[in-house]
A = this chain, B = another copy of it.
Amino acid sequence: MGAIITLTSDFGLTDAYTAAMKGVILRINPDVYLIDISHTINAQDISSAAFILSTVYRYFPNNTIHLVVVDPGVGTERRAIALKTPDAYFVAPDNGVLSYILQDYECEKGRLSAGLEAVQLTNKKHWLIPVSNTFHGRDIFAPVAAHLSLGVPFAEFGDNIDIISVLPAQKPRIGSGIVTGNIIYIDHFGNLITNIGKDLITGRSTDMTVKIGNREIKGLSRNYSGGQELLALIGSSGRLEIALREGSASQYLGAHIGDEVSLYEALYNEGLKHIQGGNRQ
């Protein structure tokens, strides 16, 4: 089996936009293996696309090519780019959709760290000509990914760049005995996924308290069948999650992306102590 190209977009499932990209790719490389990641990302929701991509690229074979087309700026001056990491290739508009990937490689403010390479896609030789103004997924990104899968050298696709656009940083704030983060993604089950990674969570999980709005969750559960209705746990992406047993935490709490979630290292009985910081009882 040849190379793998994954596809992520906000094209939905009914229109033929995704199939058009696949057709274009197969015309160039009929031996490629095509895998859909998601095409039902909310229209133009760059942030969710960035998160979804970040949770999955590590599980694919090395040198898999990830094609991402959530592209509200198609036809404008936004750049089309490709990124090469030691693990994978990414072909995408330069609009922040690779933010979490760059975070994984410890890039600061989009500046490529050692071992990463990127190009702006400018070499029309690898495009589908004539290029439309509204569907670069089909006319630029797909043919570039296909040629890349055939072994065209990375540097041939355009000029080297060393900074890539990233979304406004959403890092958790760390205080004394308290970490405050935000919901960055809500999945299909209504689980609330935060930007608080497991590396920030130390101590005994039974001592933790998670706070969202005016609700407190005492202790971290091991799975979604825990003893409490509303529970907090380290989810499969390695981040703090809030879930409702056999239900949707998102609906139950009326929670949204961006909402604040705090993690305390011990139980508090009085609201006042929250203000005083992380004194253990």
User: Residues on A close to B: CB < 8 A?
Assistant: 1, 4, 6, 11-17, 19-20, 22-24, 26-27, 30-31, 33-41, 43-44, 52-53, 55-61, 64, 72-76, 132-135, 138, 187-189, 222-225, 233, 235-236, 246
Contact = CB atoms under 8 A, between A and B. Distances in A.
A237 to B, nearest CB: 9
A113 to B, nearest CB: 24
A19 B37 contact: yes
The listed residue with most B CB atoms (<10 A of its CB), out of A58, A187, A223, is A223
A106 B30 CA distance: 30
Nearest to A23: B59
A14 B41 contact: yes
B223 A74 contact: yes
Given A15-B187, A27-B61, A72-B246, A34 B35 contact: yes
A133 B233 contact: yes
A59 to B, nearest CB: 3
A134 B60 CA distance: 20
A43 B64 CA distance: 30
A55 B14 contact: no
Given A23-B61, A75-B222, A52 B16 contact: yes
Contact of A72 (B4, B64, B224): B224
Nearest to A187: B15
A27 B62 CA distance: 8
